[in-house]
Copies of this chain bind each other. A is one copy, B any other.
Amino acid sequence: MGVQMKLAMKIAAGAGLGALFAAPFFFGPALAQAPAAAPVVPTDAMVNKGDVSWMLVSAALVLMMSVPGLALFYGGLVRTKNMLSVLMQVLTIVCVAGLLWVTIGYSMAFTNGGALNLFVGGFSKALMKGVDANTFAATFSNGVYLPETTFVVFQMTFAMITPALIVGAFAERVKFTPLILFVVAWSILVYYPMAHMVWYWPGPDFTAGLPDDHGYLWGKGALDFAGGTVVHINAGIAGLVGCLVIGKRVGYKSEPMPPHSLTMTMIGASLLWVGWFGFNAGSNLEANKFASLAFINTMVATAAAGAMWAIIEQVVHGKPSLLGAASGVVAGLVAITPAAGFAAPMTSVVLGAVASVGCFFFVTTVKNALKYDDTLDVFGVHCIGGIIGAIGTGVVADPALGGQGFMDFTVIPAVAGKYDMASQLWVQTQGVLTTLALSGGVSLVLFLLLKFTIGIRPSKEVEVEGLDINAHGERAYNY
């Protein structure tokens, strides 16, 4: 069985293991598959109110990352005439993705998919069937559960923000309805399968009895605390493909396109930072010492990345900019996402700083060299930062560097597994490549399909006059 088998046991780490490893407990059918020996029956008594409090707050924080956080971060960077289009795109995607999640998304991500189970879930919980106040979802600790609705809504906020991230890549030149159609199709064809592949498992009390019931990458033992692959690389590559298919903005590189309000961008970056604690530390699913570790790592990696970007700018052209520091902040947040619960504070600082250097180089040099118009650097920050983080996780998770390693959930209670950095790095790389291939490929097909049917790009006239007035019939400001 070799590596694959060994890795299959290498499931997640340190009792505090991130949404990557989260999965609800299945009543009925799932239980039927469980082997003999009295299985755990999750009850209200296994729910800790401190966990519920923390997870509900985390879900609210992640919503705040999208609206108003991301909307402002992006919106501030476009020109006035397109401000509302960005805000509207983000807000609408949040609404649509939320509805799609309770309709089929949660089921496709977090139920057993039968024959396709390695790659996608089924429809047994479509329309929230069987999910109510009295069902529970597993955490990463034996015998500790959350109300299932808590898990559903927390994961929902991830399914909301991920497609919203994409729009930055082709901001200022996309048609609204086709974009929403893309988001629906991409959620179904890319996001839910990715979430399933990376995050689906039966929970710590059932893994021993159901050793083969998990997604493909989960089975490989890929470590991704809060969504480096599923969220950032996933959205980043989709954005790149989108901006290539759609083409450059009218006037790109020939006319100045300064951000219309860096104040808004700063508010957005700040709220992303604040909300990201829900994203990263919330992915621990419990309010315990590992949530706390994910929290402090998120804090210092971000601080390091923000400071580092400013330092680079100081060195390179003598003027550290607010947009630079804010970009660094986001790059740091992206990079620490997969590593949040695995790293130690000081290795997080290094990871954040490295991500800042990598993303800076990408958005200032590589992008200009390759001449593609990724309006808001979705690829340069989210995909590149995500890759640095995903690979970096293999390094910083190493217990030899103060990392948390991973837990072997095939025994009850779970115990620490034996960490091998080289093989972990290879697994991490496989996670990255899988994401790039799936999301990149499907996005390409979807964008081309839209381009050659209903069209994805507005007319030049509309683009020049601005999307706000043309697509939404409003103006952002009337001072």
- Could you say which of A232-240, A259-267, A368-376 contacts chain B? A259-267
Q: A290-B133, A291-B52, A479-B80 are in contact. Are A176 and B320 (CB under 8 A)?
A: yes
- Give 1 or 0 for each of A140-163: 1 = CB within 8 Å of chain B CB: 000000110110110010000000
Do B60 and A95 touch (CB < 8 A)? no
Tell me what chain A mostly uses at the interface: helix, strand, loop, or mixed: helix
- Could you say which of A203-211, A218-226, A344-352 contacts chain B? A344-352
A19 close to B (CB within 8 Å):
no
**Residues 280-299 (chain A) with a chain B CB within 8 angstroms:** 281, 286-293, 295-296, 299
Interface contacts beyond A50-B287, A59-B295, A91-B270: sample of 14 additional A-B pairs, CB < 8 Å, sorted by A: A52-B54, A53-B54, A53-B287, A67-B270, A75-B263, A88-B320, A102-B300, A102-B349, A133-B293, A176-B320, A261-B476, A262-B476, A263-B477, A322-B474
Closest to A267 in B: B68
- Could you say which of A41-49, A109-117, A245-253, A437-445 contacts chain B? A41-49
Q: Which residue of B87, B146, B288, B329 is within 8 Å of A322 (Cβ)?
A: B87
Closest to A88 in B: B322
In the bound assembly, the distance between CA atoms of A287 and B266 in angstroms comes to: 32
Kindly report how many copies of this chain are found in the complex they form together. Answer: 3
Question: Considering residues A53, A59, A269, A291, which has the most beta carbons from chain B within 10 angstroms of its beta carbon?
Answer: A53
- Could you say which of A21-29, A304-312, A359-367, A387-395 contacts chain B? A304-312
A4 close to B (CB within 8 Å):
no
Q: Which residues of A contact B (CB under 8 A)?
A: 14, 16, 44, 47-54, 56-57, 59-61, 63-64, 67-68, 71-72, 75, 79-80, 83-84, 87-88, 91-92, 94-96, 98-99, 102, 127-128, 131-134, 146-147, 149-150, 152-153, 156, 176-177, 258-264, 266-267, 269-271, 273-274, 277-278, 281, 286-293, 295-296, 299-300, 302-304, 306-307, 310, 314, 317, 319-323, 325-326, 329, 344-346, 349, 402, 404, 471-479
Q: A128-B345, A288-B47 are in contact. Are A471 and B91 (CB under 8 A)?
A: no
In the bound assembly, the distance between CA atoms of A235 and B53 in angstroms comes to: 30
In the bound assembly, the distance between CA atoms of A143 and B69 in angstroms comes to: 40
> What is the distance, in angstroms, from A67's C-beta to the closest C-beta of chain B?
4
Q: Which residue of B49, B88, B98, B262 is within 8 Å of A48 (Cβ)?
A: B49
- A-B complex: 5 closest residue pairs judged by Cβ atoms: A49-B50, A98-B303, A147-B289, A67-B270, A53-B54
In the bound assembly, the distance between CA atoms of A346 and B129 in angstroms comes to: 9
In the bound assembly, the distance between CA atoms of A44 and B286 in angstroms comes to: 13
Q: CB-CB < 8 A to A273: which residues of B?
A: 63, 67
Q: CB-CB < 8 A to A344: which residues of B?
A: 128, 132
Do A52 and B325 touch (CB < 8 A)? no
Q: A52-B291, A310-B92, A346-B128 are in contact. Are A84 and B262 (CB under 8 A)?
A: yes
In the bound assembly, the distance between CA atoms of A465 and B366 in angstroms comes to: 33
Ordered by A's residue number, 11 sampled pairs between the chains whose C-beta atoms are within 8 Å are: A47-B288, A49-B51, A52-B289, A52-B292, A53-B54, A72-B267, A84-B262, A88-B322, A92-B306, A95-B325, A133-B293
